[in-house]
Structure 1
């Protein structure tokens, strides 16, 4: 072991200055060599691209591709316009002085140009003036045709899926959805047009609220009634067996309906045991039904199955349940507890004969009450359906108020919700207990502001999150059955006024195609309706 004072690593100032001078001289020499180099080099730094770990990389790439496509279309239009101008110029030069008929055509072009631009004077003896007039006339005609096509396209797109009426305190107003809704509608129509079978996913807690009669009519009327539709009642573990049975009986009067548990519940969720209705059992039933349909059709191509529904009803979870059954990797389609996880059309190959199409969730026009509602009530209804992302919820208090009103109709459910937060008896102020409920929840959950003031907005957000994850129990009962006496052709497609034909016969026929015997259920055969 060496003993003694360690040697210092400090460098004399003379050596440090020498290193600095050498570095400066090397940099000067490199600059001189760069000036002598005749090869051109850009001063712009190379774009490193989008990192793979960036969370919105796919979305940014799609936007870039969309901008490139728009620029390519504009370039193609300019080239087409230039080509037309060149052809018109050649025709004008070739036909100059051929006869009175050609002169008459030239005069007509000049007259059209004079109408479009009164300030421009055209000389008949000047061929360049005639060329300019012809080019401008054709350009105006092209722009007019383009604007007409865009207007007709907008009229086709502005259907009932993009516009619906809401009534506020001042009167009836017409609310138009934003551009993202318009883009989602295009994707939805692509799914319906491309699919042979449409799986309409419904939330078992409120099937009627996540159901739209206009969507059903559109699917039935598409392709002359050749498409098939099945209701998928998802999240069945959040409702008790008697309620599930009643809803299956009700929905099977309209379309074939299958119960499904597509994924595991959220932590601390209040679930019910449906015995044989497990994730594996329900997904196997759905897979066998789709395979039976594909084998019956005997198509040379794959049968495409489109999946539609409200946001956050579990469309992507349905696909993941089917792919996991076949040994596929988990997470084929991204899922999440919030709405808006799926933002684009996805195609998943199940096997050589089945392809699944996953679509973004769309808030279809639907008013289960049968009358008009205010914008606040409509927004609250969509929040309770989990169709609005948490970041887009401006005021969650009306949604909590609507939830309390619904649960108050069943004292047992209301008491269970109070027990979740361990609250004392609530006080009513002017017939409303929402404020006192949120104050108590804010104190229990620690949602307090400065000075210990309860934060009602944060407390309402917590209640909405607990409702979304199933920690608060609640469901709706099916409407009373009212048999109709209307009878017509069983294979007739849907019309604007409603579904045409004996719906019971349609369900029987479609159940046979999917080999779902005993699917039809009514008051006399409720026990058979639950058999899969």
Structure 2
């Protein structure tokens, strides 16, 4: 029997519902405030680590430390090996001498054993002794081996093996001129010393931007002018026919120049159809020219062809296109390729046949002369330099700090042509641009790109950095049409050049003679005449 004056300890249902309703309202308010907060916060939860109550925690931590220690030891070993290889000191020579002495002692012991065996055989069977002597001489010949590659020049059916790295990985920050200079001294000079022919790969959208006069001067001066230089205009499917022909006509006044379409474009790329300049025709023409030059030299060794150029101009794709001609048109993977810059990190040697081998080099930004005014405006020049490298596709995404100046430079370049400017706006579905918001056309452009492509942060705030990276990626892959118009040089005769020698009217007469002679050596004279309009 319940007493009338006692109270129940149970919580009323209406009070519990009130608490749940207040909690839900508080959570809704917190979510609403989080959406309005423009500050970016990662959704990834922090790793809690290994719980202290886990029975094998000490063992797991010891294994992790052991892996770190092994990795550090391996890195130190590689650094020491690179130092020893670079220094080439007496220790290495002494070690090699000791190894040679040991090998000689082993060979003497084996010869003594052979002599004893020969003596035993001679006493029993003279024919067996003669056979053993012939086998010993054959082994000695194979061990020494003939010097040089005396293979057949016409052996084109040999399978092309994958490239072999002949140096350690080389990394450089192309934004820093000092780092570019070190990479230039380390990579380009190695290629120049080892190669007989230099293929200088240029981007057809901006050939002068990817061209260095210093490189051309050093190639011309190397070994008293014995080196040969050929300009390769790559990515020709990204420019129209009149622009391509104008650049070919301009560059052929300085060096032999050949067009090349090394690979298929990226998806949704805006390309132009050049009927004669296909991947098969251009690569076969270049390979045939190199093989004819190698055959004309009649050397006992193979001809080395070094491929140089800015990052992401298609050097490795050029080598793959050349080697695919030997694999009966099948795709070649002699050199790794990628859409981003910095895929090739070491000098790589690809053997084409017994007469020809190609050296693939990492892309480097060739240093330019810096005057006093540039040193005074160092910060401004650094931003402009990075923006120019982004438009040249010479920087990997990991080295891009701020892509917005590059977008500004791209808008300024495309605004000079109303057709290209309209195509840019149509590509992103933008009606028009104006000085809205902060009064900057670039900001308005990136805001609209962010909204069209979904590059938004919390609260719907446009992420301008992500939008700028999207524009830079589309420009790199050719989804945005744009190019630099070829210069028009005034053509004068020899009498006028004598009267006004200081005027810049193009290459000198000596260089014209060199271009003609080199074109005849590679049998490039007269190629593509019907399509280039020359």
TM-score tier after normalising by the smaller chain length: 0.5 to 0.7
Match of 2:142 in 1: none
Q: Distance in 2 between matches of 1:324 and 1:73?
A: 35
CA distance in 2, matches of 1:485, 1:432: 49
Q: Distance in 2 between matches of 1:436 and 1:427?
A: 7
Aligned to 2:325: 325
Change (3 A) 1:529 1:240: closer
Q: Is 1:517–2:530 an aligned residue pair?
A: no
Quote the residue 1:407 is aligned against: 414
Displacement, 1:199? 0.2
- Is residue 305–residue 354 contact of structure 1 (8 Å, CA) maintained in 2? yes
Distance 1:225 1:71, change over 3 A: closer
Q: Which residue does the alignment assign to 1:177?
A: 178
CA offsets 1:491-525 (integer angstroms, 9 cap, x no match): xxxxxxx98752221111111001122269xxxxx
In structure 2, relative to structure 1, the CA distance for the partners of 1:75 and 1:224 (3 Å cut) is closer
Q: Tell me how far apart the structure 2 counterparts of residues 259 and 314 of structure 1 sit (CA, whole Å).
A: 13
Q: Hey, what's the Cα distance between the residues in 2 that align with 1:468 and 1:438?
A: 17
The equivalences for 1:78-97 within 5 A come to none
Taking a change above 3 Å as real, the CA distance of residues 304 and 63 of structure 1, as seen in their structure-2 partners, is: farther
Equivalent in the alignment of 1:215: 215
Say whether the 8 Å CA contact 1:508–1:519 is kept in structure 2. Answer: no
Equivalent residue, structure 2, for 1:114: none
- What are the superposed Cα offsets for residues 144-183 of structure 1, whole Å, 9 maximum, x if unpaired? xxxxxxxxxxxxxxxxxx999x9xxxxxxxx6423x7624
- Contact preservation (8 Å) 1:248, 1:530: no
1:324-356 CA distance string (max 9 Å, x none): 110076211001111111111000001110000
8 Å contact 2:181–2:366 — kept in the other structure?
Answer: no
Q: Secondary structure at the match of 1:502?
A: helix
The worse-fitting range, judged by mean Cα deviation, of 382-391 and 473-482 is 473-482
Is 2:395 the partner of 1:388?
A: yes
Distance 1:73 1:341, change over 3 A: closer
Q: Which of 438, 457, 471 is matched with 1:463 structurally?
A: 471
Q: Is 2:83 aligned against 1:70?
A: yes
Q: Secondary structure at the match of 1:245?
A: helix
CA contact (8 A) 2:173 2:399 kept: no
Count, aligned residues:
375
The equivalent position to 1:502 in structure 2, one of 510, 514, 517, is 510
Partner of 1:475: 483
Alignment correspondent of 2:449? 441
What do residues 380-431 of structure 1 show as CA deviations (whole Å, max 9, x unaligned)? 0011000011111000000000000000000100100110011121112587
RMSD: 3.7
Could you list the runs of 5+ residues in structure 2 that have no partner in the other structure?
1-61, 94-171, 375-379, 496-505
Partner of 2:37: none
Contact 2:200 2:308 in 1 (8 A): yes
Aligned to 2:190: 190
Distance between the aligned counterparts of 1:50 and 1:318, measured in 2? Answer: 41
Residues 329 and 472 of structure 1: CA distance in aligned 2, closer, same or farther (over 3 Å) = closer
Matches of 2:478 and 2:244, distance apart in 1: 16
Q: Offset at 1:366?
A: 4.1
Counterparts of 1:271 and 1:233, CA distance in 2: 16
| Distance in 2 of aligned mates of 1:362 and 1:245 | 27
* Residue matched to 1:334: 336
Q: In the alignment, what sits opposite 1:271?
A: 271
Distance 1:249 1:500, change over 3 A: closer
Distance in 2, Cα, partners of 1:331 & 1:268: 24
Distance 1:274 1:309 in 2: 24
- Report 1 or 2 for greater relative contact order, CA contacts < 8 Å, sequence distance ≥ 6: 2
TM-score, with length taken from structure 1: 0.64
Is contact 1:188-1:360 (8 Å) kept?
no
Could you give the per-residue CA deviations for residues 263-315 of structure 1, whole angstroms, max 9, x where no partner exists? 01000000000002111110000011101111111111100000000000000
Structure 1 residues 453 and 213 mapped into 2: Cα distance closer, same or farther (>3 Å)? same
Between the aligned partners of 1:406 and 1:448, the Cα distance in structure 2 is 27
- Aligned-residue offset at 1:61: 7.6
Whether the 8 Å contact between 1:217 and 1:499 is mirrored in structure 2 is no
Partners of 1:73 and 1:193 lie apart in 2 by 16
Distance 1:442 1:503, change over 3 A: same
CA distance in 2, matches of 1:79, 1:513: 42
Point out the more displaced range, 321-330 or 195-204: 321-330
Deviations 1:362-390 (A, max 9, x none): 1012489xx95722111100110000111
1:518–1:528 CA contact under 8 A, matched in 2: no
Check if 1:417 corresponds to 2:418. Answer: no
- Aligned residue in 1 for 2:161: none
Unaligned runs of 5+ in 1: 1-42, 52-56, 81-161, 167-174, 488-497, 521-525
Quote the residue 1:258 is aligned against. Answer: 258
1:344 aligns with 2:335: no
- Residues 194, 49 of structure 1: alpha-carbon distance in 2 compared, 3 angstrom cutoff: farther
Aligned residue number for residue 354 of structure 1: 356
1:248 aligns with 2:248: yes
Q: Which residue of 2 aligns with 1:494?
A: none
2:404 aligned partner: 397
Residues 344 and 50 of structure 1: is their aligned pair in 2 closer, same or farther, counting only changes over 3 Å?
farther
Counterparts of 1:441 and 1:176, CA distance in 2: 32
Q: Is the 8 A contact 2:324 2:331 kept in 1?
A: yes
Q: Aligned partners of 2:69, 2:508: CA distance in 1, in Å?
A: 53
Residues 84-163 of structure 1 correspond to what in structure 2 (within 5 A)? none
With structure 2 as the length reference, what TM-score do the two structures score?
Answer: 0.64
